[in-house]
Amino acid sequence: MTKFKSVRHFFLALFVTAWLAAACATPPAGSHILWQIEGDTNTVYLLGSVHLLREDDYPLPAIYDQVYADAETLVMELDMDDLDPVRLQQYMIRTGMPEDGQTLQQLMGEAEWNKALNTASSLDINLELFNNTEPWLAALSIVELEMLKLGFDPTLGVEYHFLQRARDDSKPIEGLESAEEQIAVFDNLPIDVQLRFLLKTLEDIETIEEGLDTLIGAWRSGNLVVMQDELIKGFNGFPGVYDALVVKRNAEWTEKLDELLDARDDYLIIVGALHLIGPDSVIEQLRSRGYKTRQL
């Protein structure tokens, strides 16, 4: 499980922020990665998601349907109802191309490149396909492809499930940030950090299947102690990544949630589970502002 953790903590962030660690302890009955926060005039529900799931991960916990029904508006990291997948893919590819034209091979040097090629080849991954991309995009693409091979599908993820329901119910849909802002989190990382993570991805990807079943079980059970320990320590050695991916975005989202908690409508807000656990979580930041939170 050690190798598996180090991959998911960063590279699945865009698609799967965040996968949860395997849980060994028995959690309190009925607890979920779901909180209820009371404003003066409304209620906000914060649900920690897994962005890709499999068919046999359904049905979702019944309480998710209950809070969805109670909310007048659905909010996600991105306003997926206003997202053009083709335009987003084009933007992501364009952003993921190195401005100076340097290939991965040039960035790594011959020795490291050949080592990476051999590792990728042993995993049936053609690294040459990503030679003209920046390391962050190569890593994200490799992990996503591996997840798809294992039967995980973004159209089965928590967000997409409730997105479809909101569309069918004509329920308003909003987003906390733009796709461009989300991609910039990765694109703005220093090249040396991107390279380290790409190499770590290739080193670890073969173990990615190990903990998936227990990982989803941990998410469903809501064991905060286990999740905080396993998820947060995955950023050890990469404080800049943790700050950019988690701390900064959590602070920005908390500001927006503060505004929503002053509205009249009830909201269901769905974000990656990593953003709702640990000392820098959105939950802790809301508590520091005096809001009372209750895990459901």
Instruction: Give pLDDT, residue 215.
Output: 66
**Structure-token pair, residue 239:** 């404080």
Give Cα 43 to chain centroid, integer Å.
24
* CA-CA-CA-CA dihedral for 137, 143, 144, 148, to nearest 10: 160
What's the whole-number mean pLDDT along residues 3-31? 42
Instruction: Give pLDDT, residue 27.
Output: 42
Residue 79 contacts residue 175 (beta carbons within 8 Å): yes
Q: Quote the domain boundaries for residue 253.
A: 2-295
Highest mean pLDDT among 10-14, 198-202, 262-266: 262-266
**Amino acid in the structure at residue 269:** I
What's the whole-number mean pLDDT along residues 147-165? 92
What's the whole-number mean pLDDT along residues 71-87? 87
Helix (H) or strand (E) holding 269: strand 267-272
Angle at CA of residue 240, ends 236 and 244, nearest 5°: 115
Instruction: Give pLDDT, residue 234.
Output: 64
What is the tens place of the pLDDT at every residue in 249-259?
999 999 999 99
Length of the chain equals 296
Q: What is the pTM of this model?
A: 0.87
- Considering its fold, how many domains does the chain have in total? 1
